[in-house]
Amino acid sequence: MMTSRRAWLAGIGTVLAAPALAQDGWPTRSIRLLVGYPAGGANDLVMRGIAAPLGDALGQPVLIENRAGAAGGIAAEAAARAAPDGYTLFSISSAHVLAPSVRRNLNWDPVRDFTPIALGARSPYFLMVYKDFPARSVAEFVSYVKSRPPGSISYASSGVGAGPHLTSSLFMHRAGITLDHVPYRGDADALVDVTTGRVPCAFLSVAPALPHIAAGSIRVLAVSGADRLSILPDVPTVAESGFPGFAMDVWWGVSGPAGLPAPIVQRIAAAMRPILDAPAFAERYAAIGVVPGKLGTEAFAQLIRDDRVRLDRIVQDAGITPQD
């Protein structure tokens, strides 16, 4: 009996000591940060801007490991299965939070299988039209669409169930309009047809659209996020354009596997804060429509939970069928 009691007490002591040990000894080697998309994309660029100074702050290098595929799912599954020891981090994004609503047979869950640490950055979508489209504001756009037979005007997206598809679906619901969906395999393919007028409008990501805006082949009517962008300060938000509370964007944050000890979470979050608050970070990414994240651990965790419910509701309201 005494032996069992001592064993039990020893076990409790080990559990209580583990976070302290993790806090005192971690990190002693390099840390990998899994990114579920190819090098050069917005997610990758943002994480590279965080990883180097984060490694400096922690005293060990933070190395980006791109594991593209399955719409970010390959990296997500690898991160979910990793040991919660602080040596594997994961760039979780709004796309990962959306995934269970639009993908079948996932082997990971964005809420259950990860420990949120901090929001890194976010970027809205542009509501854009072909240069000759007869509307120069959101109000004119809605009025024109309503004057035409429902579904006679098409819109492009970067794929079924992707962020632009959901943003368009939410906008149509709020505006009381119907557009015909033409999905593509990414923003670049969609932009080819929007810039030629084959498909006259779309909500698409900021960075790939900027060269076409500069060339004059498309016009931007509104920004889908909560705030205007410094690169196009005269372009209003959708919310400012008659749809209060409308806010849809893509975001990227740093997380770890479920069960990551609190001292490690706190140390990473504390190290990220000055990186994201530095004017240099904001200036570096403003040119591609990316703004720094301003959410710490608890608020970031709440964002993930809230978006999981909100995005799922939009998917259901839009009648989007989950894909394999």
Which distant-in-sequence residues (6+ apart) come within 8 Å of 211 by Cβ? Answer: none
Peptide bond into 27 cis (omega under 30): yes
What does the pLDDT look like over 227-285, one tens digit per residue? 999 999 999 999 999 999 999 999 999 999 999 999 999 999 999 999 999 999 999 99
Residue 324: per-residue pLDDT: 76
The pLDDT value given to residue 294: 85
pTM: 0.88
pLDDT for the residue numbered 297: 97
Cβ pair 186, 158 in contact under 8 A: yes
pLDDT at 57 over 90: yes
Q: Grade residue 64 by pLDDT with cuts at 50, 70 and 90.
A: very high
Lowest-confidence region among 21-35, 53-67, 126-140, 268-282: 21-35
- For residue 235, how many other CB atoms are within 10 A of its CB? 18
Decide if 199 contacts 154 (C-beta within 8 A).
yes
In degrees, to the nearest 5, what angle opens at C-alpha 102 toward C-alphas 100 and 106?
A: 40
First-last CA distance in the chain: 55
Question: What would the pLDDT profile of 78-100 be if each residue is shown by its tens digit?
Answer: 999 999 999 999 999 999 999 99
Main-chain dihedrals φ then ψ at residue 109, nearest 5 degrees? -130, 130
| Mean per-residue pLDDT of the chain | 92
pLDDT of residue 22: 47
CA distance 295 to 92: 14
* Residue 6: Cβ within 10 Å count: 10
The yes or no reply on domain 27-123+249-318 and CATH 3.40.190.150 is yes
pLDDT for 19 equals: 45
Distance separating alpha carbons of residues 315 and 310, to the nearest angstrom: 9
The fraction of the chain above a pLDDT of 90, given in percent, is 86
Averaged over 29-41, what is the pLDDT? 94
Confidence category of residue 15, pLDDT binned at 50, 70, 90: very low
Q: How far is CA 299 from CA 119, 147, 286, 303, in A?
A: 9, 43, 23, 6
What's the pLDDT at 304? 98
Task: Read off the pLDDT band of 41 (50, 70, 90).
Answer: confident
The position carrying tokens 């500069």 is: 214
CA atoms 128, 133, 136, 140: torsion sign: negative
Flag whether pLDDT at 13 surpasses 60: no
> pLDDT value at position 71?
86
Residue range 289-305: mean pLDDT, rounded: 96
Residue 184 structure tokens: 């593509």
Q: Which amino acid is at 195?
A: T
CATH architecture of 125-241: 3-Layer(aba) Sandwich (3.40)
165 pLDDT above the threshold of 70: yes
**Cβ–Cβ under 8 Å, residues 82 and 88:** yes
Strands 114-130 and 201-205: antiparallel
CATH code 3.40.190.150 region(s) in the chain: 27-123+249-318
Stretch(es) of the chain classified as CATH 3.40.190.10: 125-241
More confident residue, 222 or 323: 222
With 0-12 / 13-18 / 19 or more C-beta atoms within 10 angstroms meaning exposed / middle / buried, residue 232 is middle
pLDDT band, very low/low/confident/very high, at 18 (cuts 50, 70, 90): very low
What is the rounded CA–CA span in Å between residue 108 and residue 80?
A: 7
* Average pLDDT of the residues in 212-222: 97
The pLDDT of residue 246 is 97
